[in-house]
Amino acid sequence: GSPVSGRGGPADSRAQDRHGFSATVGLLIFAAYFVLAVWTIYDDAVDHGWLIPFLTAGMFVWGGGPVVLPMLMTVLTPGFINQTVFLTGIALAEMMPGPVFNMSCYLGVQLALANNFPWLAGTVLCWCALVGPGVALVFGAMPLWGKLRTLEIYSRALPGLNAAAVGLLVSTIFTVYAALEARSPWPPGSRAVALCSYASIEVLGPKHVPGVVLAAGLLGYAWSLAQ
């Protein structure tokens, strides 16, 4: 059997640095990512279809779902998908467990059906285009992470990177809110529901998101009946 070492020994340190791939493989993954990035830039300039925005977002948009979804909304609506349908998808994605990126499956179905494309193929392609690049980067970065985290320049740059991530998240609030204002027949009421929903999640906790979304939908339905 393998030798058992004490806490913090050399064998324990080596075990923590095992990531499945060598640093060489990690560099090869980054090289392949760079080649795909160049092709994506070219294809984005000549291809104006509904699939390439997912790959562009997956390759170049940083900050997670709250940043990616508004970017997709500006590209896909209203040319490929109705803005109301897109906003409904955001609400559904927030109600479901798992990452918001799974909304790409919902968008894939909607876009495929609207363009006479097989819905299952559209779902898989949109999900892979949006999620695949990030997954590849994880496998490429893990073998290099042990070396990167020891660099002083990375430690000094980390506060700025964190601040940039927060800034990207804040900017998306205004993008989505502008779409809400444009589509709402009663903007003051929409503002009130948005603020109350935020306050409810802060007080009740994230596990009550589905209930808050349903309650907001019922309020909107009740207002429409009152007109």
More confident residue, 4 or 56: 56
Residue 86, both tokens: 């897109």
pLDDT at 155: 81
* pLDDT of 6 over the 80 cut: no
pLDDT at 123: 92
State what percent of residues in the chain have pLDDT above 90.
Answer: 10
From the list 133, 100, 114, the residue with the least C-alpha distance to 29 is 133
* 205: alpha, beta or left? (left if phi > 0; alpha if psi -120 to 50): left
Rg (CA), the chain: 22
More confident residue, 112 or 9: 112
* pLDDT of 212 over the 80 cut: yes
d(CA 190, CA 185): 9
d(CA 76, CA 87): 12
State what percent of residues in the chain have pLDDT above 70.
Answer: 86
Residue 40, both tokens: 């994506």
48-52, 140-144, 218-222: range with lowest mean pLDDT: 140-144
User: What does the chain come to in residues?
Assistant: 227
Residue 204, both tokens: 């009740």
- Band the pLDDT of 18: cuts 50, 70, 90: low
Contacts from 86-92 at CB under 8 Å and sequence distance 24+?
87/176, 87/179, 87/180, 87/183, 90/176, 91/213, 91/217
Mean pLDDT (the chain) is 80
Q: Hey, what amino acid is at 60?
A: F
Beta-carbon neighbour count of residue 51 at 10 Å?
19
* pLDDT of 91 over the 90 cut: no
Does the reported pTM lie above 0.75? no
* pLDDT tens figures, 161-194: 778 777 767 777 777 777 777 777 777 888 888 8
pLDDT at 161: 77
CB 134 within 8 A of CB 63: no
* pLDDT tens figures, 107-154: 999 999 988 999 999 999 999 999 888 888 888 888 777 777 778 887
pLDDT at 209: 84
Q: Once rounded to an integer, what is the mean pLDDT over residues 64-89?
A: 82
pLDDT at 108: 92
